[in-house]
Amino acid sequence: MTHFPRQIIIDTDPGQDDAVAILLALASPELEVLGITTVAGNVPLALTSLNARRVCELAKRSDVAVFAGCHQPLKRALVTAENVHGKTGLDGIELPEPIMPLQSMHAVDFMIETLRQAPEKTITLCSLGPMTNTAQALMQAPDIASRIERIVLMGGGFFEGGNITPSAEFNMYVDPEAAQIVFASGIPLTVIPLDVTHQALTSKQWLDDLRAMNNQVGTAVAAWTDFFERYDREKYGSEGAPLHDPCVIAYLIQPELFSGRWVNVEIETNSALTLGATVVDWWRVTDRKANAEFLRHINRDGFFQLLSHRLASYE
């Protein structure tokens, strides 16, 4: 059962696309952000924790509680993506050092305590990075699994393949054991994979419209996108950057923008060749239990209309 506003926790590794997702969430009255938990991913934890606060202050929302989480995957060395996001993780525009403090509580403890104190199935978890924090919370407090309304995550790829290896998407690849724990948890999952986010490509017109908004947020998002898209343009020859993580927030606001199917999704954790791959039984050729809503299509124009409308609401 979802309430209005829908209460969410955003677990994130900012990253320019994470930043846009956070800005979309904070500008949407349909959502109440209970807290932001940071994880190591695109850049190390110290930077993702700094960047999350930079974005909250850009949104003039220093009231949002930001909690630092796990600094490395459950069982593996951290793999980061400065080649995509720059050395700060938010390259493209200089943002001031944040004044708002990090919360003293660990992100995993925040997740556990918040879920235990809230009525069952009233909190949605939005996972925008490697799933280390969520898996750690489930290992420490298995009882929370039944309390989470749904996990909506950006991760994986099937028809589209991978983006860090031929078969794995970054968030799944960085911590495949964490992803496996989440996908085996029985928690209702909505997976927003590269199959969807590679359709959510920015355009020059959209960037021009952002700059014409004449607000700090529009200017920042345009500058981040300019930086972020150079990687995908070189790699895929695509015009525009894939706005991966904002798709998670857009799904919560307008799920009708997306379509997919309820299937079995497993995570490869053993093969060096396909580590982190999301193995999707799209055609139901196995008797493996369906455990996730795996999305495959997005109404691209509707998505960017929603995003522009909400970003324009900032002063």
Residues interacting with Ca ion, by CB under 5 A? 13, 15, 18, 128-129, 245
Considering the complex, what minimum distance in angstroms separates the CB of residue 73 from ligand RIB? 13
64 vs 263, beta carbon nearer Ca ion = 64
Q: Please state, in angstroms and as integers, the Cα–Cα distance from residue 150 to each residue in 8, 123, 176, 250, 255, following that order.
A: 10, 7, 20, 15, 13
Asked whether position 154 contacts ligand RIB by CB under 6 A, the answer is: yes
Considering the complex, what minimum distance in angstroms separates the CB of residue 138 from ligand RIB? 20
Q: Is 244 a catalytic residue?
A: yes
DSSP letters along 6-62, please? EEEEEEE---HHHHHHHHHHHT-TTEEEEEEEE-SSSS-HHHHHHHHHHHHHHTT-T
14 phi and psi, to 5 degrees? -55, 130
Using the 8-state DSSP alphabet, how is residue 286 labeled? S
3-state secondary structure of 239: coil
Residues 155 and 195: beta-carbon distance below 8 Å:
no
Q: Report the site for ligand RIB in 1-20 (rule: CB under 6 A).
A: 13, 15, 17-18
Considering the complex, what minimum distance in angstroms separates the CB of residue 97 from ligand RIB? 22
Per partner kind, with CB cut-offs from 5 to 8 A, the member of ligand RIB, Ca ion, none near residue 169 is ligand RIB
Write down the catalytic residue from 3, 71, 244, 297.
Answer: 244
Asked whether position 228 contacts ligand RIB by CB under 6 A, the answer is: no
Asked whether position 198 contacts ligand RIB by CB under 6 A, the answer is: no
Considering the complex, what minimum distance in angstroms separates the CB of residue 71 from ligand RIB? 15
Of the candidates 123, 178, 114, 113, the residue with the CA atom closest to the CA atom of residue 152: 123
Residue positions annotated with a catalytic role: 244
